[in-house]
Structure 1
């Protein structure tokens, strides 16, 4: 079956029932847009959502029982954008969402993922280059037992950038056997760059697993010295480290061809962004 690309323009509400042949969805809207995505029960879909233009975007996702849904949001907009996103994950469904924010525009993104029924799993990732203000609130809420939720955030803060991440894993009363884990990392290159990470765990039940790990700091001087001793300039070393820092998000898909394409696109974009920033 031929793969398809769907482009959304000015429709204020755009419901999409996902199917295996839909591989890419492009958003190019000058007015506020509400996008609803549904993965029917026992289906599998991997979708790239390219945001080329969207002043305000509301996203509502429903992954029904035993579905497998992977969403990669790639923000290409150069203008400010506000995103409000909610995800509902049902029995034995597997949900992956990755947010790639390498664009120069400001971002205000709030994401809430609800693990509604037993067996639901969610992985929420982000890869960010902050040249301007990038602000994120990510909530992953266990409403049923035997659910698994993972949050992973990777960010690079360049000159003039401001990065803020609030990541919360919540296990509600009655959600026994739930597993909630999160990792957030922010890399800066000088003391004038700003990164704030606020990890939270809210646990209202016993017999659960929960953890968080946070790292904020500048690049190791010994690492930079080593790279430069191998013949790289400072700018080249920064680009190499940035690419390596963000590449884990390319593994969001199980498709090797898509992984390779994402890795190449990340490398190309990072080179462009770092070259512009160094001028």
Structure 2
């Protein structure tokens, strides 16, 4: 099977049908771009979406019944970008979306995932390094019962960075036995760095499972002391902790080769970003 890389310089006229042949979508647009993605019934796909440039990006994804969709969004743009995303997940479909934001440019992202029919599942993950302003609003809405929505957000805030995450899990009336869980963590290395996380649960049904966990804070001084006592400089310790903090996102893919490649790219990018930030 021949795998393909699809490069987009402008909005496609019709929706892009996701299948196992599409390995990567590269967005390299001088103007705002709108992208519609569709996964047919019972299809399987795992796609890396690389964002090289696009001042504004609008994405719509439809995961049809029984499909298995994994999308890894990798923002490489150094310019400010606004991202608006809306996903629809239908009966017994599994939708995974991972957002990797290690770039120095500002980001304002709004993402809404709607679980439309019973059996729909969504896993939404983010890994962020904030050197500048990074703002996210992520909603997972359960319109049907027996659905599952999980949100996991991990961020590192460096000098000059500002991070804000508003994550909402909403279970509508009648969506019995729905499960909505979220975890958000922000790690800072300086008291002057700014991070705010606003977790929300909006529950209109009784027979459900729902939870959220939030952690914001600086790295433990004892951990830093231990790492430096093993011969690491402060900058080396920060880089090591940052890499370990963000690596869980590579598990969004079930492909060992892709996991290894992503881990190497995260390590390389973190080293570059932390070195620039420390100057």
RMSD: 0.7
Instruction: State the TM-score, normalized to the length of structure 1.
Output: 0.99
Aligned residue runs from structure 1 range 113-124, under 5 A? 113-124=113-124
2:141 maps to what in 1? Answer: 141
Aligned residue runs from structure 1 range 1-279, under 5 A? 1-11=1-11, 13=13, 15-279=15-279
Give the Cα–Cα distance (whole angstroms) in 1 for the partners of residues 148 and 108 of structure 2: 26
For the 8 Å contact 1:118–1:146, the answer to whether it is kept is: yes
**Cα deviation 1:112-156 (Å, max 9, x = unaligned):** 000000000000000000000000000000000000000000000
The CA deviation at 1:11 is 3.1
For the 8 Å contact 2:88–2:113, the answer to whether it is kept is: yes
Task: Give the total of aligned pairs.
Answer: 279
The CA deviation at 1:77 is 0.1
Instruction: State the TM-score, normalized to the length of structure 2.
Output: 0.99
For the 8 Å contact 2:11–2:35, the answer to whether it is kept is: no
- 5+ residue gaps, structure 1, are none
Give the Cα–Cα distance (whole angstroms) in 1 for the partners of residues 222 and 247 of structure 2: 22
The CA deviation at 1:2 is 1.1
Q: SS at 1:258's partner residue?
A: helix
**Cα deviation 1:28-70 (Å, max 9, x = unaligned):** 0011110000000001000000000010000000000000000
Q: After the TM superposition, which segments of 4 or more aligned residues of structure 1 sit over 6 Å from their partners?
A: none
Q: SS at 1:224's partner residue?
A: helix
Give the Cα–Cα distance (whole angstroms) in 2 for the partners of residues 224 and 11 of structure 1: 47
The CA deviation at 1:10 is 2.3
**Cα deviation 1:147-175 (Å, max 9, x = unaligned):** 00000000000000000000000000000
- 5+ residue gaps, structure 2, are none
Give the Cα–Cα distance (whole angstroms) in 2 for the partners of residues 261 and 225 of structure 1: 31
**Cα deviation 1:206-253 (Å, max 9, x = unaligned):** 110000000000000000000000000000000000000000000000
